[in-house]
Amino acid sequence: MARQQGWFALILALAIAAGSVTASFPLELGLDLRGGSQLTLEVQPAGEITRVKAEQLEAVKAVLDRRVNGLGVAESTLQTIGDNQLVLQLPGEQDPTRAAKVLGETALLEFRAQKPGTEEEVRGLQRLKRQVESILKSKQERAISGESPSDDELDKQQLVEAQQAFGLQGSVGSEIEQLEQLNEKVSIKIAELFEPTSLTGKDLVTAGRQQQQNVPDSWEVTLSFNREGGDQFAELTQSIAGTGRLLGIVLDGRSISEASVGEQFRAAGITGGAATISGNFNAEDARDLEVQLRGGSLPLPVEILEVRTIGPTLGAENIRRSLIAALSGLALVAVFMVVAYRLAGLVAVLALSLYALFNLAMYALIPVILTLPGIAGFILSIGMAVDANVLIFERVKDELRRGNTLIRSIETGFSQALSSIVDGHLTTLISCAALFFLGTGLVKGFAATLGIGVVLSLFTALSCTRTLLRFLMGYQALRRPTNFLPAKQLPSSLA
């Protein structure tokens, strides 16, 4: 009796703990339930590569995966489609523009030395770039605040002349878009005035960001090289120290920063394997660059084929329909169990309620990202849990028909059904493992929820159901064979 009470207290404590977990930790919903964005990307062949192979697709996926994690978008999924496409899902992200920009850029970082004799040309381009960036920032701020444009900016004629100089005459789009195009062209032109070196982003160990001292709203990106990269950086800075030539930091063929190297570094260069990029970055720009550099450069270029947004309204509708399906299924199962197995069926319904509660607690703790296929796996696992109870109760019925006492019939029913229940659950777990490790995306979600459900089904069927039945059998009024089997099916000695 004491052992029985101990099991009952344990199950009650687990139920309270599970309820507390589900109340404290909200379930994480996938794209189809929460809404968000989906990006379809295509890997493009380049250079000597004429066809994208499986290993190259996986290499691109690995880089993109690191970038997505760096963006801080929770519960994102990235999976391959076909021979050269990837699908990225960003739950809760209703504006995928920034993510598309960060993911689509190659992020090839280069450190270049300024070509001799280009000092005057570089200074002119830097001056134009600062002017364009200042005007662009001012116009963007006014566009956000709704203020009218100011007249004390670069006049129309200067803008037209600069566009013509870079082959942008007649370019379409708003004035802000035209300024962005001009800024891009100037950055590319500056990069062309710097000689490529052997020091690139492949020698980076990590990247970070920090706010510049005494410069409000201005950030810089910090770099840390491996030993070989640190030696190359020291040699590069030593070669241009005190010469008036600049050190150019180039990303995807665009100059993002040009730095001078002082006379004091002529002897040994800048040692220590660390560098800083300062290019008038705001917090978001610095974060994006840090993410790209941490993730590494893409081995092949990527093109964004489609950006699709799923609104929260559609996600809410999916949740509503899923809840209706789940609750309807539970209700029908409960009615069937009570009608077919009477008191034992009622116990099974209580055990299933505990089972559902334990499942939700596990989803919140792991955490499991719930999607429509995941909910399908949960509902299917309920069927597995019911199946275990059906096997047990049918054995109990058989023992009662043979004339055994009620208590002995219950104990025999559990012991004889054990091997069948374990075998059935084990084979399902093997299928779940295969789906999880060999499948992708939504298939993994289905396998995860079904696998968790199968494991918990064993616990509830063999522990919760047995403990609840034993507890109820402690009451004389409930200890009647007719509570489990109609009187006409019982032997005359038990009827």
pLDDT digits (tens, 9 = 90+) for 90-106: 777 766 776 776 676 66
- In this structure, CATH architecture of domain 310-487: Up-down Bundle (1.20)
Residue 194, pLDDT above cutoff 90: yes
Query: Is residue 22 very low, low, confident or very high in pLDDT (cuts 50, 70, 90)?
Result: confident
List the one residue out of 187, 184, 180 whose CA is nearest residue 136. Answer: 180
- The rounded distance, in Å, linking the Cα atoms of 392 and 406 is 14
Reading the block at residue 396, the tokens are 């109990």
Angle in degrees, CA 368, 42, 98, rounded to 5: 65
With a pLDDT cut of 70, the percent of the chain lying above it is 86
Instruction: Enumerate the CATH 3.30.70.3400 domain ranges in the chain, comma separated.
Output: 35-107+281-309
* Helix orientation angle between 175-192 and 156-165, rounded to the nearest 10 degrees: 40
Q: How far from 350 is each of 359, 375, 482, 484, CA to CA, in Å?
A: 14, 21, 20, 16
Residue 316, pLDDT above cutoff 80: no
Query: Is residue 158 very low, low, confident or very high in pLDDT (cuts 50, 70, 90)?
Result: low
CATH 3.30.70.3400 corresponds to the domain 35-107+281-309: yes
| Contacts of residue 90, Cβ cutoff 8 Å, sequence gap at least 6 | 31, 36, 37, 38, 39, 68, 73, 76, 96, 99
Report the range of poorest mean pLDDT among 83-87, 142-146, 260-264: 142-146
**88 or 5, higher pLDDT:** 88
Report the range of poorest mean pLDDT among 52-61, 76-85, 287-296: 287-296
Residue 296: predicted pLDDT: 64
Residue 1, pLDDT above cutoff 60: no
Average pLDDT of span 383-390: 84
**434 or 375, higher pLDDT:** 434
Which residue is it, tokens 């995860």?
448
Residue 366: predicted pLDDT: 84
Query: Is residue 152 very low, low, confident or very high in pLDDT (cuts 50, 70, 90)?
Result: very low
Residue 151, pLDDT above cutoff 60: no
The average confidence (pLDDT) of the chain is: 81
Instruction: Enumerate the CATH 1.20.1640.10 domain ranges in the chain, comma separated.
Output: 310-487
**Amino acid at position 425, single letter:** H
Residue 268, pLDDT above cutoff 60: yes
